[in-house]
Amino acid sequence: MRISIRKLGTGLICFASVLLLVACNSSSESEQVDDNYNNESDNGTQTIDNLIEADRQDLEILQVALNENFPLFNVIQRKHDIDLNSQFETIYQNLGTRASATTRNLETQITNLRNRINTIGHFFPVDDVGYTFHMALLHRERDEAEEGVSSIWQHYYDILTSEAAQMRFGGIEIPYDYFENMIMSGNVTTRIIEENRIGYIRIQEMWIGNLEHDQNIINDFLSQELGLEHLIIDLRDNWGGTAAYFVDLIIAPLISEPIRGTYYEFLTGGSESLRLAQMTLNGVHVESYDYAGWMSASEFMSANYMPYFNLDDLENLQYVLPRNFIIRPSDNNINFNGHVWILINGNTFSGAATSAMLAKYSGFATLVGSPTGSVFSGMSSLIPLPNTGSVVRFDVGYVTNAYGRQLQELGVAPHYAHVGGDALETVLSMIESGR
């Protein structure tokens, strides 16, 4: 298979979202800390003061990094009526309260904010589960790399193994067989809706650990149903994972010729965003993308017609990176000649939303339902916070389609919105009516 996880890896894909976050401290724990504060010796009081100061310093470091590199401040303001910088000011004050002076309190505050903005831009602190996942993925990449890992992989690895990060994550063991032990049974279901005519595949998550397991299920189903006229892929309520899953298991096996499409990532021009863009241009996605390099955002907008672009955002965007993607048939493709439909809704997120985007803009499938949730930017930053050891992730790309539609704010629009009932009923009705 010519499109692989390694090739589609770091950008669209490989740092798939693991959004299981550390639970907030209970109120009883907070009360206990407050009591301890009031009864501590001077030495104990200084310890709590140190915790507060460490949290506040790291918050300031994070705020600077976000203002320089995170392109979605206006998007979050419009979509959720939340001013991020005002929220940081509130968090700064909250970190100074005695009851909140607990280990990892900054993580708790950022997690709460992440929940309020519904993970737009994959903004969240990495927790123990996320750290284990990322390190297992990095170790596997290092083991499988034939010519050494790419600079962007090494960049992530260096951050997560840094002295600062080990203050937070040191001692966590990374199982060698992590992915083998994390297979989700029942992740894919298949059925025939109408014999020799309509097939249906439901994918709950695009979990990288299920790739080989689910590939067998999907391949068996497709190889037995070669005469289908219609194939319906259900991505509703799929919170994502890796879009390479969808490319490798659905698109590549079903096409007989390469398919192409374009979308765009705009960058703030901050040092971290440009570093990630340069790493991307230096060899990642060699088979998957045709990069012309980045260019001035203002000059690009002057030369291109993007009627749906929100010009209020342009003042914060300095560069644009065109994503001219190509997906090639797999070596064992089945040359499906029927029509592919994809069902989506507002809970189709991240890698699943990106999969819908690739399918739509390449002409691979017809999308039916309601707009997806936020898509996954091709480039994610990991910011290490030196005083607490926390690591915060966020996307550095502001993603639009060829007409300027902001895909992290508005999602991927379906070709056809379902009217009454649900999207599956709408597709079946359209098939019966010959549309």
Tens digit of each residue's pLDDT, the chain (435 residues): 223 332 333 333 344 343 332 223 333 333 333 333 333 444 445 588 888 999 999 999 999 999 999 999 999 999 999 999 999 999 999 998 755 556 678 999 999 999 999 879 999 999 999 999 889 888 887 777 666 667 788 889 999 999 999 999 998 988 878 877 777 889 999 999 999 899 999 999 998 888 889 999 999 998 887 789 999 999 999 998 888 899 999 999 999 999 999 999 999 999 999 988 888 776 443 344 455 568 899 999 999 999 999 999 999 999 999 888 899 999 888 878 899 999 999 999 999 999 999 999 999 999 999 999 988 777 899 999 999 999 999 999 999 999 999 999 999 999 999 876 799 999 999 999 887
CA distance 283 to 61: 30
CA distance 194 to 347: 27
Angle, helix 27-39 to helix 42-69, in steps of 10 degrees: 130
CB-count exposure of residue 419 (10 Å: 0-12, 13-18, 19+): exposed
CA dihedral 412, 416, 420, 423 (to 10 degrees): -70
Give the up-direction half-sphere exposure of residue 92: CA atoms within 13 A in the CB hemisphere. Answer: 14
Q: What is the CATH number of the domain that holds 187?
A: 3.90.226.10
CA distance 181 to 164: 29
Instruction: Tell me which residue of 340, 358, 364 sits closest to 412, measured CA to CA.
Output: 358
CA distance 398 to 378: 9
Range of the domain at 145: 1-18+26-435
Q: Could you tell me if 370 and 419 are in contact, meaning their C-beta atoms sit under 8 angstroms apart?
A: no
CA quadruple 91, 94, 95, 96: dihedral positive or negative? positive
Tokens 């389609």 -> residue: 401
* Token pair listed for 133: 């996942």
Res 324: pLDDT: 86
Count up the domains in the chain and report the number: 1
Question: Which residues, in sequence order, are CB contacts of 225 under 8 Å at separation 6+?
Answer: 192, 199
Res 185: pLDDT: 85
Q: How far, in Å, are 165, 174, 365 from residue 380 at the CA level?
A: 17, 22, 27
CB-count exposure of residue 306 (10 Å: 0-12, 13-18, 19+): middle
CA dihedral 101, 390, 15, 366 (to 10 degrees): 30
Q: Could you tell me if 109 and 89 are in contact, meaning their C-beta atoms sit under 8 angstroms apart?
A: no
Q: Which residues are 416's β-sheet partners?
A: 368
Res 106: pLDDT: 92
Q: What is the pTM (predicted TM-score) of this model?
A: 0.85
